């Protein structure tokens, strides 16, 4: 109970992290990269400069809030006397904080350790949820698939970083990325089923899912080359699966977010799903790996993070 | 909002502002790494030399260039190796191509080509992959099979492609007025070539410019359906638009491949994402060990640590 109360202080941070992450995704990873097509003079350049500046600030906010939230979870685990979780969170936090500052001659080892700590943290997050009888089968499957996606993406990175000192690594790194992509797409469906099992989707949620999917699908169909490269850069999606699979998965993610947000006591799961979308399939930076793991931690939580209503 | 939450928010915002002002990040990218080891001697005219079998290799996936028209590109992968001798960097590209397209003697023939792209020494930020930006210039080395063929078998003329063609009279053949590109020093029209590799600078697409100095050497050799192209240049170069290398440094790089047989030229090319080249002091010590020990390092470490965590995570009795 005490740990739960302390966790509630983290709730606004997770909400802010999701908001900053969405801004960063839209302005820094997407808008910034279409700068090639912005005319070199006129008001568009100023607007472009402002948006990318906001996106850059949002990225820094994401990196800082992510580490603070990670520290909060480590403290929460320590107070709950869960030693394994505490050790994993603390190790991951230490490596995520120091990774940007390690000398280049040891950075590949540091990247490997960071990936290892990320996988360990995923394991200590997901393992209790998988054996928890209160957790539904769909939720367990979703957690397992997300864990596979994060693990495959991290081992792809660690393999290509460290093992390149030993031999050819391209095929294995690519295999890791493909496994991550397939698992991330597949995870959307049990996530939506788990949300719909708790509450029926309302009209606004269905409209949001349909509209968002229609806009994305239209963009991909109208500009397949540009959309493809933007999805690759922004979210690490290589589009190896048929396009309808991505459209359906995206709709399922939106359904999960909308339904969980409207469900009593499950808003933390909506934020968790948003954080997974923000992180992308193959995180491009260590900050996005932190975001993915925080999203997974929220989805695996049996209890709410939101402050309880004051009984008075 | 509680006082504690407010304090955490303040900490996050101040932290983000400090990072902005310091122009630094509390995160790092996760890119592919290529080690350039030290080799006492690297033959510049033999990309198939045994020295290249002793160093590590990365296999980069390629994708068609899809940002700027003309869009396309068919090659799906390239192997990259790198060495150095403390003074020069050597980078070897290898890719499958069923035919060596070296002749450009007609308007519908295109030669095979390969390129490497590095941030210029003057760039203070990582440039956009697509030919850099005005504030982040890129240095591009492009090897052209046709240029190499020019150097090997004399400049490709109309007579090279159409040996039976006859010309009644062409009285001003050597008059520079009728060969303005060559007279102005355009390398494309040059008859004498010192290197098949062109050194270029770009600050966005459509700004590609031949550099004023051409310090990059190279050789391409096609064998049994595979091209191997070696690029080499001294660590230090005089121009700001050129890349600079130094022992211990890592530099971003990207590769591009053109298949002339598929009419690829200009933006019709297959491109890689950025990878990092690290100029290390590690010596060549013989053939690289099989990749499996390297790959197993992290899963084994994970398993051991997971076991430790499982022991640590056993239920503990609360102190009464």
ipTM: 0.76
A96 SS3 class? helix
CA distance A122 to chain B (A): 11
Q: With an 8 Å Cβ cutoff, is A97 touching chain B?
A: yes
pLDDT at B74: 84
Q: Which residues of A touch B306 (CB under 8 A)?
A: 120, 123
Q: pLDDT band at B293, cuts 50/70/90?
A: very low
Query: In this model, does residue A24 exceed pLDDT 90?
Result: yes
pLDDT over 70, % of chain A: 82
The whole-number pLDDT of residue A3 equals 45
Give the whole-angstrom CA distance, residue A46 versus residue B136: 19
For B:186-205, CB contacts with A below 8 A are: 204-205
Sketch the domain layout of chain A as residue ranges. Answer: 2-300
As a whole number, mean pLDDT of residues B173-191 equals: 81
Listed in sequence order, the residues at least 6 apart from A308 whose beta carbon sits closer than 8 Å to its beta carbon are A8
pLDDT (tens digit per residue) in A94-152: 999 988 888 766 766 777 788 888 989 999 999 988 888 878 899 999 999 999 999 88
Kindly report, residue by residue over B12-60, the tens digit of the pLDDT.
889 888 888 877 777 776 566 788 889 999 999 999 999 998 887 777 7
Q: Please determine, for residue A165, whether its predicted confidence score (pLDDT) is greater than 50.
A: no
Euclidean distance between CA atoms B51 and B48, whole angstroms: 8
Highest mean pLDDT among A197-206, B75-84, B252-261: B252-261
Interface of B with A in 149-168 (CB under 8 A): none
Q: What digits encode the pLDDT tens for the residues A25-50?
A: 998 888 776 665 666 566 777 787 78
- CA dist., res. A262 & res. A272, Å (int): 14
Instruction: Give tens-digit pLDDT for A81-108.
Output: 888 889 899 999 999 998 888 876 676 6
Confidence at A69, pLDDT banded by 50, 70, 90: very high
- Taking CB atoms and an 8 Å limit, are A119 and B5 in contact across chains? no
8-state DSSP, B238: S
Question: In which band, very low, low, confident or very high, does the pLDDT at A19 lie, cut at 50, 70 and 90?
Answer: very high
pLDDT for B290 beyond 50: no
Tokens in use for A262?
């409207």
The pairing of beta strand B217-223 with beta strand B226-234: antiparallel
What's the mean per-residue pLDDT of chain A?
82
Please report residues of B whose CB lies closer than 8 A to that of A104.
Answer: 248-250, 278
Give pLDDT, residue A269: 92
Q: Are B59 and A170 in contact (CB under 8 A)?
A: yes
Read off the DSSP letter of residue B318: P
Token pair in block for residue A5? 């109360």
Cβ contacts below 8 Å, chain A against chain B, sum to 200
The tokens describing A112, both together, are 């490997």
Domain residue ranges in chain B: 25-153+196-304
Any CB–CB contact under 8 A between B3 and chain A?
A: no
- Which residues numbered 55-84 in B keep a CB inside 8 Å of some CB on A? 56-61, 63-64, 66-68, 71, 77, 79
Mutate to test the interface with B, among A170, A177, A181, A226 (most CBs of B within 10 A): A170
pLDDT at A306 over 70: no
Give pLDDT tens digits for B212-246. Answer: 999 999 999 999 999 999 999 999 988 889 999 99
Q: Tokens for A34? A: 């279409």
Q: How far apart are CA B237 and CA A132, in angstroms?
A: 63
DSSP state of B173: T
| DSSP-derived secondary structure letter, A61 | H
Report the run of H or E that residue B150 belongs to, with start and end: helix B145-153
Burial bucket for residue B228 (CB in 10 Å: 0-12, 13-18, 19+): buried
- Share of chain A residues as helix, strand and coil, in percent rounded to the nearest 5: 80, 0, 20
B233/B244 Cα distance (integer angstroms): 10
B25-153+196-304, CATH topology level: Immunoglobulin-like (2.60.40)
Question: Which tokens go with A244?
Answer: 């309808």
Contact B233, B215 (CB under 8 A): yes
The per-residue pLDDT for range A237-282, each reduced to its tens digit, is: 877 888 889 889 999 999 999 999 888 888 899 999 999 999 998 7
| C-alpha dihedral (A43, A44, A48, A49), degrees to nearest 10 | -30
């Amino acid at each position: 109970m005490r740990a739960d109360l302390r966790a509630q202080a983290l709730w606004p941070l997770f909400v802010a992290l999701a908001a900053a992450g969405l801004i960063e995704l839209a302005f820094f990873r997407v808008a910034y990269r279409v700068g090639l097509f912005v005319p070199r003079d006129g008001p568009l350049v100023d607007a472009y400069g402002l948006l990318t500046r906001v996106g850059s600030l949002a990225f820094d906010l994401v990196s800082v809030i992510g580490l603070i939230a990670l520290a909060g979870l480590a403290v929460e685990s320590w107070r709950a006397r869960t030693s394994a979780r505490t050790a994993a969170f603390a190790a991951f936090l230490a490596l995520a904080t120091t990774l940007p500052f390690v000398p280049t001659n040891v950075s590949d080892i540091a990247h490997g350790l960071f990936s290892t700590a990320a996988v360990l943290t995923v394991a200590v997050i997901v393992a209790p949820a998988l054996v928890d009888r209160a957790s539904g089968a769909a939720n367990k499957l979703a957690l397992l698939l997300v864990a596979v996606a994060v693990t495959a993406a991290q081992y792809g990175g660690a393999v290509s970083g460290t093992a390149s000192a030993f031999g050819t690594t391209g095929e294995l790194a690519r295999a890791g990325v493909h496994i991550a992509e397939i698992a991330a797409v597949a995870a959307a469906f049990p996530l939506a089923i788990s949300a719909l099992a708790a509450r029926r989707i309302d009209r606004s949620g269905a409209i949001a899912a349909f509209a968002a999917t229609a806009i994305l699908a239209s963009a991909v169909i109208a500009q397949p080359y540009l959309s493809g490269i933007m999805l690759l850069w922004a979210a690490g999606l290589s589009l190896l699966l048929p396009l309808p699979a991505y459209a359906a998965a995206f709709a399922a993610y939106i359904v999960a977010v909308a339904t969980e947000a409207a469900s009593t006591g499950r808003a933390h799961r909506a934020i968790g799903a948003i954080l997974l979308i923000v992180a992308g399939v193959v995180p491009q930076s260590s900050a996005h790996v932190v975001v993915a793991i925080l999203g997974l931690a929220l989805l695996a939580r049996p209890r709410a993070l939101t402050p309880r209503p004051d009984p008075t | 909002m509680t006082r504690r939450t407010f304090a955490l928010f303040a900490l996050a915002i101040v932290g983000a502002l400090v990072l902005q002002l310091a122009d630094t990040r509390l995160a790092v990218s996760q890119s592919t790494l290529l080690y350039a080891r030290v080799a006492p001697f690297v033959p510049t005219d033999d990309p198939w030399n045994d020295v290249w079998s002793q160093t590590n290799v990365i296999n980069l996936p390629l994708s068609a260039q899809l940002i700027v028209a003309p869009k396309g590109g068919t090659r799906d992968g390239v192997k990259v190796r790198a060495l150095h001798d403390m003074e020069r960097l050597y980078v070897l590209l290898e890719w499958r191509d069923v035919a060596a397209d070296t002749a450009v003697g007609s308007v519908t023939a295109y030669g095979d080509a390969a390129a490497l792209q590095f941030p210029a020494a003057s760039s203070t930020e990582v440039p956009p992959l697509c030919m850099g930006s005005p504030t982040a210039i890129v240095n591009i080395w492009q090897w052209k099979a046709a240029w190499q063929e020019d150097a090997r078998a004399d400049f490709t003329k109309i007579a090279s492609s159409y040996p039976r063609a006859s010309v009644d009279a062409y009285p001003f053949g050597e008059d520079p007025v009728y060969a303005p590109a060559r007279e102005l020093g355009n390398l494309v029209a040059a008859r004498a070539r010192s290197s098949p590799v062109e050194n270029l600078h770009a600050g966005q697409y459509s700004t590609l410019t031949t550099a004023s100095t051409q310090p990059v050497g190279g050789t391409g050799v096609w064998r049994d359906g595979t091209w191997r192209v070696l690029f080499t240049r001294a660590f230090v170069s005089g121009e700001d638009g050129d890349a600079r290398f130094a022992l211990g440094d890592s530099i971003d790089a990207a590769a591009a491949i053109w298949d002339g047989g598929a009419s690829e030229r200009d933006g019709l090319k297959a491109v890689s994402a950025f990878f990092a080249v690290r100029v290390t002091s590690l010596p060549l010590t013989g053939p690289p060990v099989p990749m499996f020990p390297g790959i197993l390092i992290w899963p084994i470490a994970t398993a051991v640590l997971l076991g430790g965590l499982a022991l640590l995570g056993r239920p503990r009795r609360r102190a009464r």
